[in-house]
């Protein structure tokens, strides 16, 4: 190896060590509020409230879809099992698929698991959020 490549490798190692060392220390200082500092609660912001309501509705829709998919798990396992039965009736080796189905079934069919519908709840009001307190 040439002396230049050794020098460059050593410079790279030193730069990496310095970079990692400097990354461990914060670049700015943080101060806590004093005991007598008044805190300003968030005011009434209609745009923010509308955005939060839209996000809440989207989350509820996603949770409802997820619940619907979990409710269809029994039907899915029955369809896969019937496909496995048809394949074995035709003489195909479906032992790998059967083992995968048997291994994944306890994850979905846990005792005491029931599909439940989500309550039709309204989004939290700004007064009930922790920031408003």
Task: Note the pLDDT tens digit of each residue in 20-65.
Answer: 888 888 777 777 777 777 776 667 778 888 999 999 999 999 999 9
Q: DSSP states of the chain as a string?
A: --HHHHHHHHHHHHHHHHHHHHHTS-SS---PPPTTPPP------HHHHHHHHHHHHHHHHHHHHHHHHHHTHHHHHHHHHHHHHHHHHTT---HHHHHHHHHHHHHHS-TT----PPP-PPPPPGGGSGGG-
Residue 27 in any domain: the answer is: no
Query: Is position 13 within any domain?
Result: no
Mean predicted confidence (pLDDT) in 124-132: 51
Is 24 part of any domain? Answer: no
113 versus 74: the higher-pLDDT residue is 74
At 41 the pLDDT is: 63
Question: Is there a domain that residue 26 lies in?
Answer: no
For residue range 3-12, list pLDDT tens digits in order: 888 999 999 9
The answer as to whether 32 is a domain residue is no
The per-residue pLDDT for 118 is 47
Q: What is the pTM of this model?
A: 0.40
Residue 66 lies in a domain: yes
* 50 domain residue, yes or no: yes
In-domain check, residue 8: no
Write down the pLDDT at residue 49. 86
Based on the structure, what is the number of domains in the chain?
Answer: 1
Q: Which domain holds residue 81?
A: 43-125
């Amino acid at each position: 190896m040439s002396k230049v490549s050794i020098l460059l490798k050593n410079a790279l190692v030193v730069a990496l060590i310095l970079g990692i060392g400097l990354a461990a220390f914060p670049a700015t200082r943080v101060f806590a509020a004093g005991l007598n500092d008044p805190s300003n609660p968030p005011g009434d912001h209609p745009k923010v409230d509308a955005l939060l309501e839209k996000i809440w509705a989207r989350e509820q829709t996603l949770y409802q879809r997820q619940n619907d998919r979990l409710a269809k798990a029994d039907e899915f396992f029955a369809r896969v099992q019937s496909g496995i039965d048809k394949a074995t009736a035709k003489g195909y080796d479906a032992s790998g698929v059967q083992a995968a189905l048997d291994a994944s079934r306890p994850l979905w069919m846990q005792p005491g698991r029931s599909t439940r519908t989500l309550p039709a709840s309204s989004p939290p009001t700004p007064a009930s959020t922790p920031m408003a307190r």
